[in-house]
Amino acid sequence: MILLADGGLLGGHADIHAWAMATAAVVSASCALVGTLLVVRRMSLLGDAIGHAVLPGIAVAVLAGGRAGGPLVFVGAVMAALVTVWLTRGLRAGGGPEEDAGAGVVFTTLFALGVVIVSAAPPGTHIDPSCVLHGDLTFLPFDTVPVAGLPVPRAFIAGAITFSGLLAAAVATWKLQVFVAFDEAAARAAGLPVAAVTFGLLVATALATVASFDAVGAVLVVAMLVVPAAAAELLTRRLHTMAAVAVALAVVGACVGYLAAWRFSTSAAGMIAVVLGLEYGVAAVLAPGDGGLARVWGRLALAWRVAREDRLAAVWRAEESGGERGPATWRSLLERCAGWWLRADGSLVHTADGWRLSPRGRRDAEMIVRSHRLWEAWLGRHAELPLDHLHPPAEWVEHHLGAAMRQRLEAETGGRENDPHGREIPPEA
């Protein structure tokens, strides 16, 4: 904040912008924290439904004299969220639609009701129909209460209290949350209060939603609930790391989104959702292990290894049958590249009578052919497949068998020396 104020990045009113950005960050962090549990428990769409459905609760609370960020509004929103869940479940139990169709009925109806209440509200009520859809961060910093002599925006205080409360609740019940999230049935069987945990999560979702309502509105809150958590899920494998990463992504997304919105003079809430989406996109591409890049790289590497090994084995088989089918007969680009590589790394050597395997190349090739024929032998003995069905699976598996596996296969095929086609199985190196 100091940097922004000094550097004049936002021109005048730097403190106003800083407060707006801090508010966005703190409500975004609350949503990400709750969203982590929603995402791992496959309740993302419930988050969406609650985001919409709190509207009538907030609207009624405001009409009843509550003010934005005040306790009455929080109570109204939580009531509306509970009504949503109760109605959705009640409809299904009463013979109504499946859960997602039921949720579709309930949250659209409640949202429509909320919009009509807001539209029909007498003028001067502190709620604006367009804010319902995308919130408005601009004016939040002007509604302040003094804290230790400093004017602090009411929305920031509400957001900070919500975040602290949610964080404390999460830390206090973390083990329980993890157990319920990953094996609800086992948690129930162990006598844990699963229903209470789920109920608490719904209330927490409603609290995070209503804390964000003034900043981002009722529709975009789903982006703040789900997107950082889904991105964090791609990046990590542990739930507490996921929660921390989600909160960090949410805070960065809120700040960057706010600045970008200011730069392009557009809606901050919309831009925050867009930035969170970009973060997710980057995570999906760059995630270690199974991100887009890692997958592509892994597949290419595998394809390349398979091509090289297939070529080596082909030369070995050609030598076995007395013919010569060296790199000169390889046509496809991949085969020729593999040939170049094998020549360059010394697995193939050119002799007076054509291409031959070097000692190292021969050893590698024998291990591949050995894997192949052991697998055929094993299949022939244990899977009762006809002879002409043995080759294709062995052609796949030969690239994935290690020495230990080959040893086991040899033991389980009775240490025979020939494969089912009668060809010799090369010995282990």
Nearest approach in angstroms of CB 236 to another protein is: 11
Nearest approach in angstroms of CB 195 to another protein is: 21
Nearest approach in angstroms of CB 212 to another protein is: 12
Token pair for 156: 């920031």
| CB-CB contact of 74 with 161 (8 Å) | no
Using the minimum distance from each CB to another protein, give the nearer residue, 90 or 402: 90
Beta bridge partners of 1: none
Closest by Cα among 348, 166, 353 to 250: 166
The identity of residue 158, as a single letter, is: A
Using the minimum distance from each CB to another protein, give the nearer residue, 12 or 414: 12
Nearest approach in angstroms of CB 169 to another protein is: 22
CA distance 146 to 371: 76
Q: Give the CA distances from residue 100 to residues 91, 202, 212, 416, in Å, rounded to whole numbers and listed in that order.
A: 11, 16, 24, 58
CA distance 186 to 166: 25
Beta bridge partners of 151: 146
Using the minimum distance from each CB to another protein, give the nearer residue, 94 or 415: 94
- Residues 6 or more apart from 269 whose CB is under 8 A from it? 134, 135, 136, 137, 215, 216, 217, 220
Nearest approach in angstroms of CB 352 to another protein is: 52
CA distance 213 to 219: 9
Nearest approach in angstroms of CB 386 to another protein is: 25
Using the minimum distance from each CB to another protein, give the nearer residue, 147 or 300: 300
Nearest approach in angstroms of CB 243 to another protein is: 15
Using the minimum distance from each CB to another protein, give the nearer residue, 114 or 153: 114
Using the minimum distance from each CB to another protein, give the nearer residue, 257 or 426: 257
Binding site for another protein (CB under 8 A): 39, 42-45, 47-48, 52, 91, 94-98, 100-105, 108-109, 111-113, 115-116, 119-120, 129-130, 133-134, 219-220, 222-227, 229-230, 233-234, 261, 264-267, 269-274, 276-277, 280, 284, 290, 292, 295
Closest by Cα among 302, 427, 308, 318 to 374: 427
Nearest approach in angstroms of CB 79 to another protein is: 19
Closest by Cα among 227, 172, 188 to 47: 227
Closest by Cα among 274, 224, 213 to 36: 224
Using the minimum distance from each CB to another protein, give the nearer residue, 49 or 390: 49
> What string of DSSP letters covers 188-209?
HHTT--HHHHHHHHHHHHHHHH
CA distance 157 to 108: 30
